Amino acid sequence: MKYKALIVDDEPLAINVVVRYLEGFQDFEVVDTCQNALDAFNILDKKSVDVIFLDINMPTMTGLDLIRNLKNPPLVVITTAFREYAIDSFDLEVIDYLVKPFSLDRFMNTIGRVKKRLAPTATGTNSAEPAQDSQEPQHVFFKVDKRMVKVMLDDIIYIESLKDYVRIKTSTENLINHNNLVSITEYLPEHKFIRIHRSYIIALDKVKAIEGNCVEIGGKLLPIGRNYQKTVKKLILNIDED
């Protein structure tokens, strides 16, 4: 089975870069390309697509406006020359945010995230109940300054976004790593960690209490973002609000 990709960018050279990169992955095929969001909207109305590689600044309609106007959008990878739209993009639940010019190595990281998200659908696995692999890693190495620091997953309390960096709060220390929350989630088991805000990921088993729209964890009250409240309450309190 091949994953179907749509590339949307008003710069032909930028489209060619993504096409060329995708040619290296046999389980992906480009079903179409276009240079504006309106054409993309019409294509999505006619063709089945698994993932969109989407620019933001385009004539007539921006990429973010396109996402907002799709009832059931496929996975979205933002490809843009601008960093300042990252927070708005993450609020729309894009799977990754690539800042041009991005390397093949960075693109491979994105493909890994896309495949990880699409694999349960392709194999028939219930994505709401992540498989708990007996070989699941127990630790992650994070680059801190010039060292690769080993962090046990069970020691992580929460991770906080600091623009181009993240703070990893553990039971014994704070570590600063050059990364973003979207990329960090690739290394975290979905049944152990949850994003509660555009700036926070928390360890589910470290939650002490929920107070209003905040989570008490690690001696702090962290806010629950409006777009995350339903999921957080369902996973932590087992409350399913329709």
- We report the CATH number of the domain holding residue 208 as 2.40.50.1020
Quick check: is 131 in a domain?
A: no
Same domain, residue pair 117 and 174: no
Domain range for 47 is 3-123
CATH of the domain at 102: 3.40.50.2300
Picking from 78, 97, 123, the residue at the C-terminal end of a domain is 123
Question: How large is the greatest C-alpha to C-alpha distance in the chain, in angstroms?
Answer: 53
What is the spatial distance between Cα 187 and Cα 150, in angstroms, rounded to a whole number?
Answer: 13
Rounded CA gap, 204 and 200, in Å? Answer: 12
**Statement to judge: residues 143 and 119 lie in one domain:** no
Judgement on whether residues 165 and 79 belong to the same structural domain of the protein: no
- Cis ω on the peptide bond leading into residue 12 (within 30° of 0)? no
Kindly state whether residue 130 falls inside one of the protein's structural domains: no
Domain count, the chain: 2
- Reading the block at residue 206, the tokens are 């470290």
Q: Within 10 Å of residue 121's Cβ, how many Cβ atoms?
A: 12
Are residues 54 and 147 both part of a single domain? no
Per the confidence metrics, is the pTM higher than 0.85?
no
pLDDT means over runs of 10, the chain (242 residues): 93 96 92 96 93 94 94 92 85 88 89 81 34 58 84 93 90 90 80 91 92 91 90 74 54
Strand partners, 237: none
Give residue for tokens 């509660």. 196
Residue 4 CB neighbours (<10 A): 16
Residues 89 and 162 in one domain: no
